[in-house]
A and B are shown apart, each in its own frame.
Chain A
Amino acid sequence: MIEILNLYKAFGTQMVLNNLNLAVRRGETKAVIGRSGVGKSVLLKNIVGLIKPDSGSIKINGVEVTNLNEKAYDKLRMEIGMVFQGGALFDSMNVGENVAFVLDEFMNLDKKTVRDRVADALALVGLKDVQHMMPSQLSGGMKKRVSLARVLCMEPQIILYDEPTSEVDPITAAAINHLIIELRDKLKVTSIVVTHDMNSAYQVADSIAMFYRGQVIADGTPQDIRNSTHPVVQQFIHGQADGPITEDESLIFGHIK
């Protein structure tokens, strides 16, 4: 369970999160949508403590984490898996070592068990026999999937996905959506899925939250979001170049003078 109250974060003079509120129930999959640069990744980084908020509260499983010491936070982090937007694979290690990272680091398992669990995790994301490859030899989508496999290997209770289906082909995207749903149904994983892909959001999410100008402007079931009359939400989910969002920023896209 994740509860975010009045979270505020600015970088210098640039305000990113402006008293943002968001709650994710245990076992729920929450999709977070919003324009590029609204602070979706910043929110995820606040949750795992990579960025400290200026003010506000974040509670994970009832524990206030914004003023938690590193040791206690690390204990909590063992239960949280984060799939970074860019993959963030360790480029000095091959794929097998990357996926086995948490097992090697924290568990004393024999080599065969590790090898099997790595292969299982890779199979879940549709990859086979890539263990010996280096991250620099992988395509963007493969990196994303290896990064997901690395998180699955640690069997977390909470998974934060930063655009899991960007950069992958439609078939793989569908498989990843399916995987996210299965993780919720079978392993009761709580997750936040940041995505631009509305199809994916509708499919995987129990509820969808839309970010705009540092706040959640709409939060509800996929059905609620579809039927929302909020013009900003409408423009976003239908992907229109003209509308309140672009007017607001006095941006004119796609018009050549």
Chain B
Amino acid sequence: MLNLVFKTGAATNSLIRYIGQLTILWSQTVVLALTPSFKGRRSLIQANRIGPGSFIISALVAFFVGMIIALQMAYQMVQLSAEIYIPKIISVALTRELAPVLTALIVAGRIGAGIAAEIGSMTVTEQVDALKAFAVNPVKYLVVPRFLGLIVMLPVLTMLSDIIGIWGGYIICVYKLHISHEMFWKMVFSALAMKDIITGLVKTIFFGMIIAIVGCHQGLNVHGGAEGVGKATTAAVVRSFILIIMTDCLITFIFYFLLNV
């Protein structure tokens, strides 16, 4: 019993320490992103790696999720003859919650893992040491461009997922549930307020930060060769997933109870 208490204590301790380390890296990144010299090209290169490659996958997922929500809703709503409300539900659920989270998870899997692996292998081959020896700050050189690339590209990808997901719902609603084209869009736009889209996009900025900081932190702290890089990559994905979901819950809480949006 006492053992269990100790174990929980130790786990909490290391969790707090981990969050502390992430916060330190985050604040260094923000400060360095705002101090000259600015190398916009590096961020563009990163954004270019993140965006186009992730677009197809996130679009595909959003499209199918839009269809799935429509079908699952239809299962219940048809009994109440309320299928006319399905477009509303699809658009709100997608923009506020599903598109931001699913896109973030996809990008965490694709890009977060890539960041951890790339920076991790630079760490074990002493390239990060070489940067320091050349008086270049590795956070400025490696973390800042990835951070900026992600907080710009993730909202963009999410916005595209919003649109494509709603089109997924459209297919089911119009061709299967026989809601008219005009009616579908009328219902979508009557339900969607600007705040739904904005709250969704605000979340993704936080998710982007999480993916960048967790991935870079794992990469910079690799120990022990190729095996270490592998472990860091796995940890980057798992930890980003957990932190994204936890942050999502927290932000939704804040939006709902404190800001009433």
Contact = CB atoms under 8 A, between A and B. Distances in A.
A74 B126 CA distance: 18
Contacts, number: 46
A192 B99 CA distance: 57
The 3 closest A-B pairs by CB, nearest first: A88-B130, A74-B135, A88-B126
B126 A86 contact: yes
B196 interface: no
B256 interface: no
Size bracket of the B interface: 10 to 19
Interface of B: 118, 121-122, 125-127, 129-130, 132-137
Contacts of A90: 122, 127, 130
A89 B127 contact: yes
Contact of B133 (A77, A91, A106): A77
A86 B136 CA distance: 19
Contacts of A32: none
Contacts of A80: 133
A148 to B, nearest CB: 13
A49 B132 contact: yes
B127 A82 contact: no
A50 interface: yes
Nearest to B141: A105
A45 B129 contact: yes
Interface residues of A, number: 23
Contacts of B129: 45, 50, 84, 88
B202 to A, nearest CB: 33
A33 interface: no
24 contacts: A48-B133, A49-B132, A50-B129, A50-B132, A50-B133, A70-B137, A74-B137, A77-B134, A78-B135, A80-B133, A82-B133, A84-B126, A84-B129, A84-B133, A86-B125, A88-B126, A89-B127, A90-B122, A90-B127, A90-B130, A92-B118, A105-B136, A106-B135, A154-B134
Contacts of B127: 88-91
